[in-house]
Structure 1
């Protein structure tokens, strides 16, 4: 009986490992971009000049988690100032936002360590375009 074709993921594998400016492996460096959220991303954007792979993951992490931080500040301010008519809406939005954030955080770490260019919605497209400028 023939095997069924499996659905391919959005993640694209890399061609081959490139040297990094930091002396760490590309996979580990990319993992650290997500592990320390936007702080790790900023550090690797500054230090990494050779690896497009690490810069892609650093940019994606910075864009995605920077957006989440700004969104969280807006939601927090709206809860304080009571911008929402129904005060129960803001905490629900915040909970949903952080649940999605944790899912993408774990997905980013796993795909980075496994050598995959997994693109987050919107942030991945921007990161890919900007990392090609290296």
Structure 2
């Protein structure tokens, strides 16, 4: 990979998984943070694959955390508004808004997931803002 800023001089023939670099790096995204963690732990010498593993953990772990946060927020709002006269209408509106936010979150995550897998497999080395910088520290 000529544009790869994460390589440590290791070629695809000597990755610890025995896979080509682009395949192993793309696999880091397939199951989100789970496959990211697996590739991060398996590839101790190859910085590119470890980078994509960490980026997968951060991006999709963040998506799961945001989903849980939206779910908890909705439940708290529902519980709090159940004691307010007319709170059912407001609770329904809040539920609708949070549901739409959750839908947007998962659609965005799906698009990011596809983008990261395809571009990594094509050896384009996608570097996401903020998360990519954090991933470089831990790769």
TM-score if structure 2 supplies the norm length?
0.77
Do 1:37 and 1:61's aligned partners in 2 also have CA atoms closer than 8 Å?
yes
5+ residue gaps, structure 2, are 82-89
TM-score if structure 1 supplies the norm length?
0.80
Do 1:34 and 1:61's aligned partners in 2 also have CA atoms closer than 8 Å?
yes
Map 1:1-134; keep pairs closer than 5 Å: 13-14=3-4, 18=11, 19-82=14-77, 86-131=94-139
The higher radius of gyration belongs to 2
Following the alignment from structure 1 to structure 2, what is the Cα–Cα distance between the partners of residues 49 and 33?
14
Q: Which residue of 1 aligns with 2:86?
A: none
Do 1:45 and 1:55's aligned partners in 2 also have CA atoms closer than 8 Å?
yes
Aligned length: 120
Higher helix share: 2
C-alpha RMSD of the superposition? 2.1
Q: Which has the higher contact order (CA 8 A, sep 6+)?
A: 1
Following the alignment from structure 1 to structure 2, what is the Cα–Cα distance between the partners of residues 17 and 113?
17
Following the alignment from structure 1 to structure 2, what is the Cα–Cα distance between the partners of residues 117 and 127?
13
5+ residue gaps, structure 1, are 1-11
